[in-house]
Structure 1
Amino acid sequence: MLVRKSFLLSLLCFLCLTTNVLFAQEKKATIRITEKNIPLSFPIVENGKSSSVYIDEKDAEVVGIAAEAFKNDIYLLTNVTPKIFKNTPVLSTYPIIVGTIGKSYYIDQLIKTGKINKNTLVGKWETFSISVVENPAKGVKRALIIAGSDRRGTAFGVFELSRMLGVSPLNWWADVKPAHKNALYVTTGQSLIGPPSVKYRGIFINDEDWGIQPWAAKNMDTDVKDMGPKTYAKIFELLLRLKANYIWPAMHPSTKAFFYYKENPKVADKYAIVLGGSHCEPMLRNNVFEWAENFEHEYGKKPGEWRYDLNKNEMATYWTDRVLEAKNYEAVYTVGMRGIHDGSMPGPKDKNEKVRLLGEVIKDQRLMLDATNLTQPVNTIPQIFCPYKEVLSLYQAGLDLPDDVTIVWADDNHGYIRQLSNAQEQKRAGGSGVYYHISYWGAPHDYLWLSSISPSLISYELTKAYQYKADRLWVINVGDIKPAEMETQFAMDLAWDVNKWRPENAHNYAESWAAETFGQEFAKPIAEIKAIYYRLAHEAKPEHMGSVSFTDQQANERLAAYAAIYKNAVALNEKIPPRLKDAYFELILYPVQGAYLMNQKILYAKKSFLYADRGDKQGLVYAQKAKDAFEEIKTITVKYNKEIAGGKWDGIMDYRPRKLPVFDMPKVATSIAETVKNEVKSENKQVISATTFVQRFAPKGTMLQTIKGLGVSGKGISVFPLNFVPTKDNEFEKAAFLTYNVNFKTTGEHQIEVKCLPTQRVSATGKVRYAIGVGNEKPQIINISPAAENDIWKKNVLQGFASGITKHQITKVGNSVVKIYLLDPGIVINQLEIQ
């Protein structure tokens, strides 16, 4: 205490004597990082020495964790290690001061003397400032100050500075080693960052059976041979570096429950990460392990049936015990219930009775929260309800959901959000959020191997959600994290600042990310590789190649496109600095090569029969090429696990998750036939890109926007804003429209297929419609959104498009005008195919 008082008195005296006590920080220039000693800049590292870091030992634990990480980051950059001081009364000539308003002695004194404008921070969520301040105390010439509005704001500020200095958020998770710097300076000025666009932003570790769980058991938490506190510490640091704050922990049968290892929630609290539970894990309970497997160990008896109408008291005790255990941790509670794992809620067969029972479950869960959190009213405890899969129909049937509970809308597991808040729901105190997949196990087919959902699609869907007020919580299903690092980083960057990467410029993210990750020299070629990689995967993900059919011409075009980006990726690899070779393999080369080889394996196998049936010896050549591709997938996966980063990732990559048939070697031709059996007839289609319109119109307050990287053909057109009022069927003439000149070479009936992004309707009663007409004919109105997740939906998400087909009587040869009206939010047209 004497040390703290001494520091206070000395700091106050000398701060009050300074002549420039008050200044408008808002008007200061934005800080920059430089390796040159520009006048008035702050030296982080100069002449082989580093400025020291000063924190208050009574500040949140995450501040100390961030300071230690920053120390290590400076060493990575410069081979110089800063010292960290806690509550010393004497500051160095050039100190780095880190702290939280109201928790840091240093920061609070700087506020008192006007060196920090508290109005820019106080009362704001996760906001921070990084500033260079002149003469803050006697003997202090210049200080670099990182001040946070709360504990996470401070930690984010520290990690943001690391990122500005050149340490990638993926430094550990993807071995992105920074370039060496001889000196580091921060120019005078201030950067004020925050609050975030979305309050709670985080990830769901899921389907971990083939990647992160076996890897963690073997390499990280070797004592428990599972995902434990050492693994989660690395995950939580990644989240802080991404300015994220929320976790749904791994929860498959292969992994013990998060709370089973008592250090896990403690580590989360140390890192200031908010705990949550997935759509089927109410009240922070992991039912797969804690009810189905470990209940007897915890309670000394076997559990009863997982039915609230038959076993209410036992289930209530089970939930209440977890709330008591978690009440001192920052958490968001999932309310409601589903099956023990990812299945529908057991209960009455009558739907209305099931809705009533679900309402009773939620009411009782809130009573538990109210009874165990005596200092906090239940309507202030963060709670979410996730209408995932069949739960959406129960919600739509009239579930009485308390106003303060956040509705977390889910996508259809393939990147297309199923429903968003209507005007009345947008007024709810709890607001809404989104549960979104970039990795998935389930129907119609998994995609657990490679990450291939583009920033353009992620931005389009999540920006649409944001415009419908889904700003309370975003959680992204990232599977094993690897190899979804870039897409995860994009989602968190978007959640932090939703306006920075809007759909119309999200295609530029790959170049920006590559510049930060690999350097400006490599940014554009990497972005070009990724653009084609995403487009090809949108038309059929590598994991979906066994479910989507292509003509021989289309197969040739795919293989040629993959061959080109693989060739470019290999050539670029030769130029990548040695320090980034591992990162390049993990982030660029393995996904591109893996996708290429999967396409070779499947398409060459089909070609082997096509040519063999013609009696062409090329059939056997293609058969061998397919086999070679299959073996090469194994080879590069062994390299990922055993060689990259010295074997650091041993066990993280499985080229055949769940051992699904698509990952096996397909049948190939083994002999040459004498007759032609499988001739593939080329389709006589006229293909017109949606972006080649000749005229367009949008009503006042809206605009037609071209979006690169979205949908088949790599471009789409949609109406902005994404929450415009739908046009009625009988008023389609008032809607935005596009016209196209089409040269019909024959009269009679022609078919026009309009390929669209397979988006879902925004509201429970809505549709995704366009209207189309040729010449003066009455336009036909088409809804491309299936009523449910039926066979049409399954086909749509696998092939990457939904389409409407219309018939038109053409009475003259030559040019005619085709007019398409866009009637609903979320309609994206990609191309017209005319027969």
Structure 2
Amino acid sequence: MLIIFGIVQNSVFADEDAGMTLQLEPINKPSEDLKSQNSANSVFRIVGNDQSVPILYDKDDAAVVGLCTKALATDIERITDILPPLVTTLQTNGEAAIIAGTLGKSKPIDAMVKTGKLSVNSIEGKWESFLIQVVDHPLSGINRALVICGSDPRGTAFGIFDLSKRMGVSPWVYWADVIPAKQKNLDVAIDKIIMGPPSVKYRGIFLNDEDWGLKPWAAGKMDTDIGDIGPRSYARIFELMLRLKANYIWPAMHPCTKAFFYYKENPKIAAQYDIVLGSSHCEPMLRNNVDEWKNNFAKEYGRQPGPWRYDSNASEINRYWGDRVKQAAGQNRDAVFTVGMRGIHDSGLPGPVTMEGKVHLLNKIIEDQRNLLAKYLGTNSAGIPQIFCPYKEVLDIYNAGATIPDDVTMVWADDNHGYIRKLSTAKEQLRSRGSGVYYHLSYWGAPEDYLWLCSTSPSLISYEMSKAYAYGADRLWIFNVGDIKPAEMEIEFAMDLAWNVHAWKPENAAGYAEEWSARTFGKEYAKEIADIKTGYYYLAASGKPEHIDRIKFSEKEMNERLAAYEGIARKAEDLKHRIPDRLKDAYFQLILYPVLGAECMNKKHFSVQMGDAEQSKQAYEEIKKLTEIYNKVIAGGKWNGIMSMSPRNRPVFGMPEIKNRNSRSVSSERALEPVRTISVREFTFDSTRLHLVSGLGADSVSLSWTNFNDSSYSEEKAGSAPSASIKLELPNGRRMIELRCVPTHAVHEKRALRTAIGLGDQPPAVVDVNTPSGTEAWSKNVIRGYSSAKTEFILKEKGMITLQLSLLDPGLAISKILIY
């Protein structure tokens, strides 16, 4: 008999919601990907005969452990309708139990270690690591236990939710209504699991552009008393993060939202969930300037603020920053401090006009910020986690000579459209605190937003982030996720990759959709759903739904796109009837809405151009209908306010102009037609150095040199570079060859993206598709999904000839070749 004391009530949210695995340290080699193995004796029964084993934890362990054990109990109840008792004090004669705790903070765990029942050598002293193991006679009075032991509190939390996932509970059980199947008995097959430490130390999300989704939903459904994103919302967000093995957040910060620290419960909730606080590239020192400087300064300080200019108002700004550091120190907050300075929101550094003046001022700002950290945190600033993010114009200041202390992590940014602008040079890779990446899955800005749907493929995410990791960016990854929804699968992929960067390399990342679909909807539907997602990503790669009005397609191309969209949309519609009832709401959110919405967006714009105004109007009305279902029908209206069909009211979301009901606006100009279009699949190449990356680029596959940190080749040594060739028959005369590539950037300023193009015995022509971000050419590239370079050859005779492409720089990804 198991006698229990201190039974703990379940989560505050409970009433709202109906082998051997080894991950060795560190996760930096392909050989250390996960392996699974279970023996016949590894089955542990959690629920049987209408009874659940209790869950034991130490009430003096970290708060996050208690929260996660309560969530685990809820997850078990979701599956079995049996709520396990939560136990904090244990006496004798128990058959079995789940025991969760942190090494050095949990008395039951430490007792097992002391008696030799539990070996923790594999995780002791390591960052966010955990083991899950079945232990016989772990403690006096317990015959058998499923033990979850973390090296630190977050490690314990990750271990607890790893068990939930293995039981069949999706991380999206709340956030996308992925309801697990009911089971009368609940067994798990586990000998021993060891996981961690992660590939990337800090793995986080940035809640951004929340005006049309997360904010109105939170105000109307969660934090209704304050009408804002507040502690109830953040508790849900933080639990999701732990389920995804994320640990770091940049809170929401738009003008529609009060600063994170404005609500006193917010940082307390973050501390309870052991989430590391940070702030965005334009919010130094954990300060939300949009709210705290512009709106709330007078309330906090009793007067209006002076100018947001460090060259003329340094003392006031320093006090403002210092007060936040003191507040964080007083709350014993685990935080990463952003250093540097930009405009109040997403704009340039105010003050100096010259670049020399900007460099000098930025250096002074960072020096003063570090002095504040040292003063109020009681330690040398070198020991305090800090980041510097050279985002947008800040990269120019950095390149002009700004001095960033060695112990500040450089967080390189993408170009806002998923292509990383710069990574660390060999010298920069020697920095003691390394580097990281700020990457967008959602964006407001030039050349156009993408705030409605999420269509950045796992293949592109893996390609860019694997490249970053190869250049030492293993300290911090932060993803702009907008409103979280509808980027669920993409966020989960990003966090899975950050945990183990070798699990989903560019060459196999396209397979993630099927693996994720199997976990989310069941193996019997996984292949069909993966095919739908693959088609969705493929079509978006050559024109995101939010960008479709900015691309000039031929009538043939429009009809091809509409046919392709109709194909995946019909598959999605057909499958919805076979999806289990418990998952229909999840299926609508995760699959049906984005696929049908993207189809209708293309149909709305193309139909007008091809003279069918009525079909265009029908498509517009269908998007309205789908969005109404999302907000007010699925899950009983749970998500009302989360989905807008027109974020920021950009022109693409409205009805296209109809001049005459049946008028056509397709250009009558004939585009130059190629005499031959060649897929990279047709080439012969050295597979030891070049790889086909499925799902990457506008043509569904790209050929790339994925040993990203290899040396480049000079033009003189192009013959030794990785190459691909094809024999083809061409007519004589002047021939132009166009190379279309993934519109990424050279890995850093000392590299390029060059290809030597050879045709027959003619001297090769070298082209470079590297395009500076912010230029007109770059804008065109990121909207249409490819960069382009052209060169001409003169063929004196027609006949068979060899086309050879020599890739001179790693990171180049070729998608298609056209010959005119």
TM-score range, shorter chain: over 0.9
**Equivalent of 1:662, from 652, 658, 681?**
652
* 2:759 corresponds to: 774
- Residue 694 (structure 1) shift: 4.3
**Equivalent of 1:233, from 229, 232, 235?**
235
Deviations 1:62-84 (A, max 9, x none): 00000000000000000011001
CA contact (8 A) 1:52 1:92 kept: no
Change in Cα spacing, 1:833 to 1:90, as seen in structure 2 (3 Å) is same
Structure 1 window deviating more from structure 2 (779-788 vs 539-548): it is 779-788
* 1:10 corresponds to: none
Structure 1 window deviating more from structure 2 (662-671 vs 214-223): it is 662-671
**Structural mapping, 1:494-505, within 5 Å:** 494-505=497-508
* 2:488 corresponds to: 485
SS in 1 for 2:750: coil
CA contact (8 A) 1:133 1:188 kept: no
Deviations 1:307-344 (A, max 9, x none): 11100100000000000111211000000000000000
d(CA) in 1 for partners of 2:179, 2:386: 39
Change in Cα spacing, 1:578 to 1:707, as seen in structure 2 (3 Å) is same
| TM-score when normalising by structure 1 | 0.92
Aligned residues: 789
Change in Cα spacing, 1:656 to 1:833, as seen in structure 2 (3 Å) is same
- Residue 260 (structure 1) shift: 0.3
* 2:31 corresponds to: none
- Residue 170 (structure 1) shift: 0.4
- Residue 358 (structure 1) shift: 0.2
Deviations 1:470-512 (A, max 9, x none): 0000000000000000100000000001000110000000000
d(CA) in 2 for partners of 1:489, 1:671: 45
* 2:691 corresponds to: 705
* 1:171 corresponds to: 173
**Equivalent of 1:685, from 659, 666, 674?**
674
CA contact (8 A) 2:554 2:666 kept: no
* 2:815 corresponds to: 830
1:796 equivalenced with 2:781 (yes/no): yes
SS in 2 for 1:824: coil
SS in 2 for 1:118: coil
d(CA) in 1 for partners of 2:662, 2:510: 46
* 2:746 corresponds to: 761
Deviations 1:391-416 (A, max 9, x none): 00111111111100000000000000
**Structural mapping, 1:606-685, within 5 Å:** 606-608=609-611, 622-671=612-661, 678-679=667-668, 681=670, 683-685=672-674
d(CA) in 1 for partners of 2:662, 2:66: 70
- Residue 682 (structure 1) shift: 6.0
**Structural mapping, 1:287-306, within 5 Å:** 287-306=289-308
1:336 equivalenced with 2:340 (yes/no): yes
Structure 1 window deviating more from structure 2 (622-631 vs 758-767): it is 758-767
d(CA) in 1 for partners of 2:429, 2:524: 45
CA contact (8 A) 1:775 1:818 kept: yes
1:458 equivalenced with 2:478 (yes/no): no
CA contact (8 A) 1:30 1:190 kept: no
d(CA) in 1 for partners of 2:521, 2:597: 21
1:45 equivalenced with 2:35 (yes/no): no
Deviations 1:429-479 (A, max 9, x none): 110000000100000000000000000000000000000010000000000
d(CA) in 1 for partners of 2:121, 2:495: 26
| Residue identity in the other structure for 2:736 | Q
**Structural mapping, 1:371-770, within 5 Å:** 371-374=375-378, 376-608=379-611, 622-671=612-661, 678-679=667-668, 681=670, 683-697=672-686, 703-745=689-731, 747-770=732-755
Change in Cα spacing, 1:206 to 1:29, as seen in structure 2 (3 Å) is closer
* 1:11 corresponds to: none
CA contact (8 A) 1:132 1:186 kept: no
- Residue 357 (structure 1) shift: 0.7
| Residue identity in the other structure for 2:553 | F
d(CA) in 2 for partners of 1:330, 1:443: 34
d(CA) in 2 for partners of 1:66, 1:192: 19
d(CA) in 1 for partners of 2:75, 2:37: 19
* 1:252 corresponds to: 254
- Residue 265 (structure 1) shift: 0.5
Superposition RMSD in Å: 1.9
CA contact (8 A) 2:92 2:140 kept: no
d(CA) in 2 for partners of 1:123, 1:394: 39
d(CA) in 2 for partners of 1:49, 1:795: 62
Change in Cα spacing, 1:808 to 1:642, as seen in structure 2 (3 Å) is same
* 2:139 corresponds to: 137
SS in 2 for 1:171: coil
* 1:125 corresponds to: 127
d(CA) in 2 for partners of 1:828, 1:351: 34
SS in 1 for 2:815: strand
Change in Cα spacing, 1:156 to 1:332, as seen in structure 2 (3 Å) is same
d(CA) in 2 for partners of 1:677, 1:509: 38
| TM-score when normalising by structure 2 | 0.94
- Residue 731 (structure 1) shift: 2.0
Structure 1 unmatched ranges of 5 or more: 5-24, 609-621
- Residue 680 (structure 1) shift: 5.0
**Equivalent of 1:103, from 94, 102, 105?**
105
CA contact (8 A) 1:692 1:740 kept: no
- Residue 140 (structure 1) shift: 2.1
* 2:19 corresponds to: none
- Residue 529 (structure 1) shift: 0.4
CA contact (8 A) 2:609 2:665 kept: no
CA contact (8 A) 2:555 2:666 kept: no
* 1:351 corresponds to: 355
d(CA) in 2 for partners of 1:314, 1:802: 46
| Residue identity in the other structure for 2:622 | E
Deviations 1:748-796 (A, max 9, x none): 1111111100011111232211111211111111111113420000000
d(CA) in 1 for partners of 2:558, 2:269: 50
- Residue 90 (structure 1) shift: 3.6
Change in Cα spacing, 1:228 to 1:40, as seen in structure 2 (3 Å) is closer
SS in 2 for 1:209: helix
* 2:13 corresponds to: none
| Residue identity in the other structure for 2:770 | S
* 1:322 corresponds to: 324
- Residue 597 (structure 1) shift: 0.0
d(CA) in 1 for partners of 2:346, 2:249: 18
* 1:15 corresponds to: none
- Residue 87 (structure 1) shift: 3.0
CA contact (8 A) 2:613 2:661 kept: no
- Residue 677 (structure 1) shift: 9.2
d(CA) in 1 for partners of 2:92, 2:728: 78
d(CA) in 2 for partners of 1:681, 1:694: 29
SS in 1 for 2:439: strand
d(CA) in 2 for partners of 1:833, 1:39: 60
d(CA) in 2 for partners of 1:104, 1:30: 28
Change in Cα spacing, 1:372 to 1:806, as seen in structure 2 (3 Å) is same
CA contact (8 A) 1:773 1:819 kept: yes
d(CA) in 1 for partners of 2:563, 2:471: 41
Deviations 1:699-750 (A, max 9, x none): xxx61011000001100010121111111233222211111223212x1111
CA contact (8 A) 2:554 2:667 kept: no
Identity of aligned residues (%): 51
1:361 equivalenced with 2:346 (yes/no): no
